[in-house]
Every structure is written in C-alpha cells, then in structure tokens.
Amino acid sequence: MMEEKKRILLVEDDEAVGYLLSEYLKMKSFEVIWAKNGKEALVKLDQTKFDLAVLDVMMPEMDGFTLAEKINENFSELPFIFLTAKSLKVDVLKGFYLGAVDYLKKPIDEEELVIRIENLLSRLEKPIPKKEEVESYIIGLYHFNSLNQELLVGGQKINLTTKESELLKYLVEKKNQLCPHKDILIKIWGKNDYFNKKSLNVFITRLRKFLEKDASIKIENVHGKGYIFRFEP
C-alpha cells in the first residue's frame, strides 16, 4: 500500500519563486497547492486539509503575519513556517511569536527546504497514544487535554497549538523540577540554537498568559538555566 503524500500549502506571491518551489516539492513527492496571496490561502484552507503551510511574509491582499494570525484562530492544528526575505531579528521573533515552527530566509536552497520540511513533519507527526499514556491533566483550576490540545477553565476553552500543547505537557510532567533550556529545545524544537531559544521564551510567555487565572500556577525562570513549573495539587 502506497504511503499517502503529505499536503503542503505554499503561499507565495512571486510567480517565479512560487512555480519553482511548487514544482520542486512535487518532484519530492509532496502534494502542493499554491496560493498567491493570503486571502486566496484562506479559501484553500477552507476547502482542503493540509499537513504544513509555507508562508511568504510580504504579499499583497494579506501579508504572511496576518495570515498566520488567521490560521491560529481558525486552523490552530496546522503547523506553518515562514519563508521570506525579511531577516531582521524583530521579524524573526515576531514569526515565532505567532507560532511558526521554523523561519527560513530567502534565497534558500530547494534541497535545504525539503530537508527542513521532512524533519518538521517527522517531528510533528503524532503517534497513536499508548493506553497507559496520560492524556488529561488537572492543573489547579484548569483541565488540560494534551491529545485534543485543549485547556479548559471556568467554562472557557483555549485551543492550543501543537507546540504549545507539547511544551505544557513537558512542563506539567516535570512539575517542580528544573527543566533546562537545552532539554526542552532538543525534545520539542529538535535543535538547541539561538532562535529556537528565543522562540521558547515567547511560548513560555504565552503559556503564562493562558494560565494566569490560577495564581498558584507559576512558570519560574531560573536565569541562564531553564524553567520550573511550580504547582502543588
């Protein structure tokens, strides 16, 4: 039985770059749907289920950052990466803040893009949970379902992204223990480097905001070392 092709949404307004990347990804056995701006991409997202989105930042109609916000609101389980000429540190950090799993700078070698996509999809692919694996956690006022990527509190449901859910689960399972930066990055990001560490800081800030309704829950920063998820049931 043939393995089902992974479906990529490529959002790129440059005709030459879009054509080159879509054809190359098809050659590498991906199914690719190419949208030429953010508004067109949203239509494609309503019509088709994707495994990964590759977003340019500077586009007419709707830029990539705005599109990422829409994806977070309406397609929160879809991982996305930015592929862009915007390489200032503030732009990279904004990309990670919006939930990007990677940020690649143009011009990029097509082979490197394929390798990055394959590695990301391999990491993000969810295994079928074992029966003995814990999927649901009570954290103070919160009920966290890691399988559904949901955080419930006081009748409110917070939909988490894949990486937010993975990070929260990691911290909860190691509650009241020091979680070194390196261990978290290798486990969840797959690589310990400067930009991934900045991305981790952003995700920690987001989790703190999600959990702020219960003052007994704290994610403490241990300077230069890592984080401790403080919680006593």
* Mean pLDDT computed over 154-183: 91
Backbone Cα Rg of the chain = 18
Q: What percent of the chain has pLDDT over 90?
A: 45
On the question of pLDDT at 2 being above 60, the answer is no
Determine the average pLDDT of the residues in 162-189: 91
User: Which residue ranges form the domains of the chain, and what is each CATH number?
Assistant: 7-124 (3.40.50.2300), 136-230 (1.10.10.10)
pLDDT band at 40 (very low <50, low <70, confident <90, very high): very high
Higher-pLDDT residue of 147, 229: 229
pLDDT of 131 higher than 60? no
Give the mean pLDDT of 138-142. 91
Q: What is the pLDDT of residues 65-119, one digit of tens each?
A: 999 999 988 887 888 998 877 667 777 888 888 888 888 888 878 888 888 888 8
| pLDDT at 228 (0 to 100) | 95
pLDDT at 134 over 80: no
Rounded to two decimals, the pTM is 0.60
Encode the chain in three state secondary structure.
Answer: CCCCCCEEEEECCCHHHHHHHHHHHHHCCCEEEEECCHHHHHHHHHHCCCCEEEECCCCCCCCHHHHHHHHHHHCCCCCEEEEECCCCHHHHHHHHHCCCCEEEECCCCHHHHHHHHHHHHHHHCCCCCCCCCCCEEEECCEEEECCCCEEEECCEEEECCHHHHHHHHHHHHCCCCEEEHHHHHHHHHCCCCHHHHHHHHHHHHHHHHHCCCCCCCEEEEECCCEEEEECCC
The model's pLDDT over 202-232, given as tens digits with 9 standing for 90+, comes to: 999 999 999 999 999 999 999 989 999 998 7
Structure confidence at residue 132 (pLDDT): 46
